[in-house]
């Protein structure tokens, strides 16, 4: 008879890549909620653009630029998770985003990646963002892709007058 685990946690570690966009903010909200619900660790990664990283490396203030991004990442995560703090590790790295996200997931032993994606015009129902697609194609870790937030439809208030047919 197989021994059943007494560990109620579904996930041990969740990775959420962010780029400071509204899409990644929505993904971070989902990732934080899942981490709280599973009592697991959340790893949040920001990947610096490789060209920006190369340009920064040639300047004397490269470390200041990296430190500024780390500070931005900290503020971004706190702005989303401050109301209900969780166990979070912040990671900043440079390189091709999809490859770096998969590398960070492997290094930290993440068993779920939660990330946003952007819709692309009429094809938004068929296509992920290129980074999300690159991660899905190259990782063995399950990926939860959070779609772009849709505007909420304003519902009529009970005391507003109803629309009347003109013709």
Q: Is the model's pLDDT at 96 over the cut of 80?
A: yes
**What is the distance between the alpha carbons of residues 100 and 94, in angstroms, rounded to a whole number?**
7
**Can you give the pTM of this predicted structure?**
0.76
- Where do runs of H (alpha helix) occur along 14-121? 22-38, 50-58, 62-81, 97-107
Structure-block tokens of residue 41: 């660790």
The pLDDT-based confidence of 28 (bands split at 50, 70, 90) is: very high
Domains of the chain: total = 1
Whether 62 maps to a domain, the answer reads yes
Q: Does the residue 42 lie in any domain?
A: yes
Instruction: Reply yes or no on whether the pLDDT at 61 is more than 70.
Output: no
Q: Comparing 63 with 2, which gets the higher pLDDT?
A: 63
Please check the confidence at residue 163 and state whether its pLDDT lies above 60. Answer: no
Task: Sort 62 into a burial class: Cβ within 10 Å, 0-12 / 13-18 / 19+.
Answer: middle
What is the per-residue pLDDT across 102-158, written as a single tens digit (0 to 9) for each? 999 999 999 999 999 875 444 444 445 688 889 999 999 999 999 877 655 444 455
Q: Would you say residue 102 lies in a domain?
A: yes
Residue 90 lies in a domain: yes
> Which structural domain range is residue 90 located in?
13-146
Look up the CATH number of the domain holding residue 29: 3.40.50.620
pLDDT at 21 over 80: yes
Task: With respect to residue 52, please indicate whether it lies within any of the assigned structural domains.
Answer: yes
Q: What is the pLDDT of residue 1?
A: 42
Residue 2 lies in a domain: no
Give per-residue pLDDT as tens, 65-93: 677 888 899 999 999 888 887 899 999 98
Report angle CA 85, 87, 16 to the nearest 5 degrees.
Answer: 95
- Domain-embedded: residue 85: yes
26 within 8 A of 118, measured Cβ to Cβ: no
Q: Which pLDDT score, from 0 to 100, does residue 117 have?
A: 82
On whether residue 21 sits in a domain, the answer given is: yes
Residue range 31-51: average pLDDT? 90
């Amino acid at each position: 008879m197989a021994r059943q685990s007494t560990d109620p946690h579904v996930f041990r570690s969740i990775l959420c890549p962010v780029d400071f966009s509204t899409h990644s903010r929505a993904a971070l909200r989902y990732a934080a909620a899942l981490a709280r619900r599973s009592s697991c660790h959340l790893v949040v990664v920001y990947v610096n653009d490789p060209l920006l990283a190369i340009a920064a490396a040639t300047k004397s203030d490269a470390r200041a630029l990296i430190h500024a991004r780390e500070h931005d990442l900290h503020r971004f995560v706190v702005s989303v998770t401050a109301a209900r703090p969780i166990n979070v590790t912040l990671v900043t790295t440079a390189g091709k985003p999809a490859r770096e996200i998969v590398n960070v997931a492997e290094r930290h032993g993440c068993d779920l990646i939660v990330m946003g994606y952007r819709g692309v015009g009429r094809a938004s129902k068929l296509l992920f963002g290129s980074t999300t697609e690159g991660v899905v194609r190259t990782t063995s870790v399950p990926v939860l892709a959070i779609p772009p937030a849709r505007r909420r439809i304003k519902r009529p208030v009970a005391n507003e007058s109803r629309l009347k047919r003109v013709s």
